[in-house]
Amino acid sequence: MASDRRPGFLREFLRQPGIVGAIAASSRFLASEMVEGFDWDRIGTVVEYGPGTGSFTGHVLRRMSAEARYVAIEINPRFAARFRAEHPGVPIYEASAADVEQVCRSEGITRIDAVVCGLPWASFPADLQTAILDATMTMLAPGGQFGTFAYLQGLLLPGGMRLRRLLRGRFATVTTSRIVWRNLPPALIYRCRQAND
């Protein structure tokens, strides 16, 4: 019997715990909650950071308008290869989310309306958190939306607390979703919006 060579979360976590940041992919419950907060009918361009095995991708594809553009950025080459095979219609860049400006330039995108983010913020150092958020703010359209999740156990870690401060310092509004208990581990979503100008 052929073995499954697809990258699994646990295997990738054991290779690079601070970059993968999770032992399991997000549940469909967290994915549903993630896509809830976006104004899909007003979104022309959506970029996903850290799609991993694509837990959010089908949900985004179902909600976004037929004319919208969707681009993904994933730093792990094995996850990126799997994503490419499963979602051939969505361009994926094997890069860091900090390189979002270069990715957009390659795609001819001048403004992003929404970012769906699955990055493991709590395990990132301060300079990487800042670099990714600053690059995001330069590309996000006025009124643009940014959604990212946080595991409950990471909320009180230095990286988790710093992320909250950084989001509040950059976005006009930051709200939190209900807690999604049916996820391993339980998580909530930060829903952020850029000022309209």
Ligand X SMILES: C[S@@+](CC[C@H](N)C(=O)[O-])C[C@H]1O[C@@H](n2cnc3c(N)ncnc32)[C@H](O)[C@@H]1O
Contact map string, positions 100 to 139, toward ligand X, x by CB under 6 A:
------------------xxx-------------------
**Sole binder of ligand X in the list 38, 56, 70, 83 (CB under 6 A):** 56
> CA angle, corner 186, sides to 94 and 145, nearest 5?
55
Binding mask 2-21 for ligand X (x = CB under 6 A): -----------------xxx
Site for ligand X in 129-188 (CB under 6 A): none
Contact pattern for ligand X over residues 26 through 55, marking x by CB under 6 A? x----------------------xxxx--x
Q: Which helix (H) or strand (E) holds 192?
A: strand 187-193
Q: How far apart (Å, rounded) are the C-alpha atoms in residues 109 and 37?
A: 23
Sheet holding 140-151, edge to edge: 92-93, 69-73, 45-49, 112-117, 140-151, 187-193, 173-176
- Contact yes or no for 61/82 (Cβ under 8 A): no
**In the complex, least distance from residue 149 CB atom to ligand X, rounded to whole angstroms:** 7
Nearest approach in angstroms of CB 1 to ligand X is 27
Q: State in angstroms the smallest separation of the CB of 19 from ligand X.
A: 5
Residues in the chain: 197
* Residue 41 vs 127, nearer CB to ligand X: 127
Identity of the amino acid at 42: R
CB atoms < 10 A from the CB of 160, how many?
17
Size of the residue set binding ligand X (CB under 6 A):
22
Q: Return the bridge partners of 72, or none.
A: 48, 92
Cβ proximity to ligand X, 120 vs 147, nearer residue:
120
Q: Are strands 187-193 and 173-176 parallel, antiparallel or unpaired?
A: antiparallel
Residues near ligand X (CB under 6 A): 19-22, 25-26, 49-52, 55-56, 73-76, 79, 96-97, 118-120
